[in-house]
Amino acid sequence: MARSFTERAIFLDEGVTRVGLSAVDLNFLIKTAASGVAIALLVGLAAWARVARSTPDLDEASVRELLAFEHPDARIGAIWISADARGALVRAGDDAIIVFRLGDGYVARSAPWTTLATTAPKNGAVNLRVADVGARLKLNDGAAWPPRLEAAA
Amino acid sequence: MSFDPVTLATPFFILLVIVEILAAKFAKTRTNYEAGDTATSLAMGLGSTVAGLLTAGVVAAVTLWVYQHRLFTIPMTAIWAWVAIFFLEDLTYYWFHRLSHERRFWWAAHVNHHSSQHYNLSTALRQTWTGGLNGTWLLWMPLALLGFPPAMIAIEKGISLVYQFWIHTEAIKRLPKPIEAVFNTPSHHRVHHARNPRYLDRNYAGILIIWDRMFATFEPERDEEPPRYGIVKNLGDFNIVRVAFHEWIGIGRDLTKARSARDVLGYVFGPPGWRPGGEGTTSEDLRRAWRARVGGEGG
């Protein structure tokens, strides 16, 4: 016998409810494992295709351009570029702005300038911990840390 | 057997990601994929499916309970019922999405979807792990109370989710004007994912962009101002646990600094970026500062 509209709706609802009850069944585990394999293949394909954004090394002009968007109100003073040109340190008044590479983009964070002195270089680099992020800046041989950067006039 | 548009569409999601990557490589479309970012987006998608199962039973049970107290009985086989739920569900989605951006408690669950600096089909799969816990699904309960069968609501939500997959692309520039006028398109949704002050908290639409036009949250994409994707303070790594929980952790950290009930309410339910005494930087603050910088161009 055909179900009434309401019965049919509730019958379908049972399907929705079952989703919650079947979380650990074999079918779910197989689907999850297959999804994991699909993810690995897609990530591999993305890596193979080499279609990331081109991310040129940092220089003073590119850092200024980046900060014009990231910290538009900051008074940018002197700029220091890391030895591998993947990071930068900028004097902005009493603050330091740290720029570092993530994937094919850059991330910027600011912190009081005085906090830089609490980090000692190790193996030719400093590992800065600023709020929620960690940034590694490579130093030239024998370079002093933190670099002496003038604030904007 | 239940009909789930998202499950049915999943193989096509995978296929379209492959097509988009290959098109970027061989046809040089305007698309970028970075392996770490892609891995994060896809892992977030898988995690979201698992996390969703933890609350699916509760959501279904509550929906059924509300439906048992419905005002009307709406037949699933009537075309008018599907037309009605299409509009009502899409309107519900608009307000859910707006709430998810404008109030921190809900932003904390939604922010991960915006945390990529890329905009491609894998970004569409960067879904929430905590969206089931913060109760936004309650916004759909009025539909059950009206008398739309829970399965009908679930199907319509699935259709909306599937629709929103394909608009996460830079490969499609603009669609014909009548489509851009009515529907949410890749162009409109690029604006939504942008962190340029002009574009912040705009274009909340699911399927129809008409809601943004009606409620004054519409912003067109401008060629002279390409979207920069991500969040105001982009994350510093691809750690999926951080992607999923960083805003919740931020709320917890801020609550330890709260000095009054007002502070607590502001930190939890204020707009993202809120701080006591007006010291924070909300989207509105960023937009105001940008307008002040650019003068007349910010109109």
Q: Token pair for residue B154?
A: 């679930």
Interface contact A36-B46, CB threshold 8 A: yes
Per-residue pLDDT tens over the stretch A46-61: 999 999 999 999 999 9
Partner B contacted by A117 (CB < 8 A): no
pLDDT at A95 over 60: yes
Q: Which residues of A touch B80 (CB under 8 A)?
A: none
Model ipTM value: 0.91
Q: Which residues of B touch A53 (CB under 8 A)?
A: 32, 34
Interface residue B251 vs chain A (CB under 8 A): no
The answer to whether residue B75 neighbours chain A at the CB level (below 8 Å) is yes
pLDDT-derived band at A144, boundaries 50, 70, 90 = confident
* DSSP codes, A18-82: HHHHTTTSHHHHHHHHHHHHHHHHHHHHHHHHT-SPP-PPP-HHHHHHHHHHHSTTS----EEE-
Query: Tens digits of per-residue pLDDT, A65-93?
Result: 999 999 998 999 999 999 999 999 999 99
Return mean pLDDT, chain B. 96
Question: pLDDT (tens digit, 9 = 90+) per residue, B20-76?
Answer: 999 999 998 989 999 999 999 999 999 999 999 899 999 999 999 999 999 999 999
Q: Does B33 touch chain A (CB under 8 A)?
A: yes
pLDDT at A12 (0 to 100):
45
Q: Which of residues 16-35 of A touch B (CB under 8 A)?
A: 16-21, 23, 28, 32, 35
ω into B272 cis (within 30 of 0): no
How many whole angstroms separate alpha carbon B76 and alpha carbon B118? Answer: 39
What is the phi-psi region of residue A14: left when phi exceeds 0, alpha when psi lies from -120 to 50, beta otherwise? alpha
pTM of the model: 0.91
Among chain A residues, CA nearest to B239 = A133
pLDDT surpasses 80 at A41: yes
Q: How many CB pairs under 8 A join A and B?
A: 153
Q: Write phi, then psi, for A81 (nearest 5 degrees).
A: -105, 135
Give me the mean pLDDT over the A10-18 stretch. Answer: 45
**Is the pLDDT assigned to residue A18 strictly greater than 90?**
no
Chosen for mutation from A43, A75, A98 (greatest number of chain B CBs closer than 10 Å) is: A43
Q: Which two three-digit tokens encode residue A95?
A: 């603050």
Per the CB < 8 A criterion, the answer to whether B83 and B74 are in contact is no
- Mutation site, B37, B122, B240, interface A, largest A CB count within 10 A: B37
Q: What is the mean pLDDT of chain A?
A: 83
Query: Could you give phi then psi for residue B171, rounded to 5 degrees?
Result: -70, -25
Domain map (residue ranges) of chain A:
5-49, 60-138
Q: Do B2 and A12 touch (CB under 8 A)?
A: yes
Q: Which residues of chain B have pLDDT under 70?
A: 1-2, 296-299
